[in-house]
Amino acid sequence: PRPMFPNPPGLLRLEPHSEGLRERIWWGAATNATSEWAAKLGMNLQSSTLKFDESGKPFHVQQAEQIRVYREAWKTAGHKREPRVSVSRSIFALVDDRDRAYFGRGNESRDQIGFIEENTRAIFGR
């Protein structure tokens, strides 16, 4: 960060100060590059059922690669603590026919491709 005004002797820390805050920050990364960036800064990695489609490979293969990139960058950065990775999934309880119509098994049980932005292809894991 670049302060608008000089703050001798340097940047001011976040107040109120919370000891160990850095170890509790999780970064949701949509790309391998952002997972690497998070590792370099010492943030934990949060991965989910959505990431940018960087290789055309199945979602689970791309997600495993994203985690490998994160762990390698963490090791290279020389952080003393172990890296932490969380993988979240959304679960929908199907309790009636309407739920099954929207979320039930069918073609939707496979990975899907979509666009978050005009030129940003994303893969959604199922």
Task: Tell whether the model's pLDDT for residue 105 goes beyond 80.
Answer: no
Determine the pLDDT at residue 39: 97
The rounded mean pLDDT for the chain is 87
pLDDT at 13: 75
Q: Is the dihedral of CA 13, 15, 17, 20 positive or negative?
A: negative
Q: Is the pLDDT of residue 109 over 90?
A: no
Cis check: omega of the bond before 9, within 30 degrees of 0: yes
In angstroms, the CA 42 to CA 23 distance is 8
- The proportion of the chain whose per-residue pLDDT surpasses 90, expressed as a percent, equals 52
